[in-house]
Amino acid sequence: MKTRISTILLSLMLMVTMSATAQHRNCGAMNHYQIMLQNDPEMAQRMAQQEIEIQQWIENRVQSKTEDEVIRIPVVVHVLYKTNIQNISDAQVYSQIEALNRDYNKLNADTVNVPSIYKNLVAKVGIEFCMAQQDPDGNWTNGITRTSTNKSTFELGSDQAKYNNTGGHDAWDATKYFNVWVVPGISESGMTGILGYAQFPGGNLATDGVVIDYHYFGTTGTATYPYDEGRTLTHETGHWLNLYHIWGDDYGSCSGSDNVSDTPNQGDENYDCPNHPQVSCSNNGDLFMNYMDYTSDICMAMFTEGQKARMLAVMNGTRASIKNSGRCLPNALSLVKTQNQIKIFPNPAAHQIQVEWLQLNTSSSIEIQLSDLSGRLLISQSLRNQSQTQLDVSRLAQGMYLITWKQGAQVHHEKVLIQH
């Protein structure tokens, strides 16, 4: 029988002999959960009550047959870095948000790899993620905080990443935001090699969210094969929305359950990229292509309809306040920063950006330009005797752009993030 310890030792041996790029997936969510239960004995009772509510909500959903609403979750990414390379780019953060939106909305092309007997289980979860556009004080933000730290690894048990006074960054109000901490490394009792860990709903709000190693975050920059498709956060977000591992976390027996009705019973986790069918527990093949198994990013492709129902139940139960927090505006533009001379305001309803400036000299014209980050000019306006204008950005793709304000020798640049 395979045990938890042997799994960890195997991961460690692989790390030592084959370097971090070839290590097996190792998620710390269940160990974190066990530590939370030890520190907060009443959590078990709250989780049991939450489970009853989830099952009731799912039952009502089946009976009422109402159409599911699209749920939007505002994300704040706290980047903790010791070295410059760990201070990952905005683009890498946005690539991770795109990956979440791809996987939670069945926009991933690799669902074609799902075996035909399981194709009818593949779900479009219908949850959209956005970078938070307002911080807890109501100021416009790009949803990223950056903190220099002297720590190379952050301890899972004490949640060091989540507090200013332990080298991390305090959570933003977890009733309004999904907090994600990107860290140089994660350790547990001195051991490293954990890709990420999530906190299940129902726990301490000060530590609510996901911690993830910067090697396994996003699809560009420092993201490292075979975990460079952004699916470590897809997996951890599943835990944050109360999904358990697909094999039921019993390690080596068929008695564990993920509390999801349509996932086949599965004996153990799968690694790397196995061939279908991997039969265990007399099933028709493990659902190893599920995001809640331990396979490589390129071999995961789906949540099931049952997992979707469970996640929607949480977003309409314990986490309902997040979807109503107003920090994730639909069809929104978000402001990245404002300088003294020019101000940029999003006008989401009109798909416009409003640009205002303190005009010093009314006699010469002002040029307002919007270009992409490669310098390609997309919008250009020449204005005189005006102190504001609107830029129609409805036809621009989501992403970062540059706004340039020029008058004579004076030039100001501002980056803006456009999200539709």
Burial of 348 (0-12, 13-18, 19+ CB in 10 A): middle
Residue nearest to Zn ion (CB): 27
* Known catalytic residue at 236: yes
Rounded least distance, CB 62 to Zn ion, Å: 27
Q: How many angstroms separate the CA atoms of 9 and 15, rounded?
A: 10
27 scored as a contact of Zn ion (CB under 5 A): yes
322 scored as a contact of Zn ion (CB under 5 A): no
With a CB cutoff of 8 Å and minimum separation 6, the contacts of 240 are 178, 198, 199, 200, 201, 208, 209, 210
Tell me which residue of 73, 57, 50, 72 sits closest to 244, measured CA to CA: 50
Q: Which is nearer to Zn ion, 143 or 193 (CB)?
A: 193
Tell me which residue of 64, 42, 71 sits closest to 317, measured CA to CA: 71
Burial of 263 (0-12, 13-18, 19+ CB in 10 A): buried
Q: Which residues between 137 and 176 bind Zn ion (CB under 5 A)? A: none
Q: Which is nearer to Zn ion, 213 or 414 (CB)?
A: 213
Stretch that binds Zn ion, among 28-36, 100-108, 119-127, 166-174 (CB under 5 A): 28-36
Phi, psi of 178, rounded to the nearest 5 degrees: -95, 110
29 scored as a contact of Zn ion (CB under 5 A): yes
Rounded least distance, CB 210 to Zn ion, Å: 10
- 188, 236, 269, 414: which is the annotated catalytic residue? 236
Phi, psi of 352, rounded to the nearest 5 degrees: -125, 155
Rounded least distance, CB 14 to Zn ion, Å: 18
Q: Which is nearer to Zn ion, 134 or 234 (CB)?
A: 234
Rounded least distance, CB 294 to Zn ion, Å: 8
Q: Which is nearer to Zn ion, 27 or 391 (CB)?
A: 27
Q: Which is nearer to Zn ion, 27 or 403 (CB)?
A: 27
Stretch that binds Zn ion, among 26-34, 111-119, 174-182, 359-367 (CB under 5 A): 26-34
241 scored as a contact of Zn ion (CB under 5 A): no
Tell me which residue of 169, 171, 170, 167 sits closest to 152, measured CA to CA: 167
88 scored as a contact of Zn ion (CB under 5 A): no
Rounded least distance, CB 59 to Zn ion, Å: 26
> The dihedral of CA 192, 96, 370, 337: what is its sign?
negative
Active site residues: 236
Residues contributing to the site for Zn ion (CB under 5 A):
27, 29
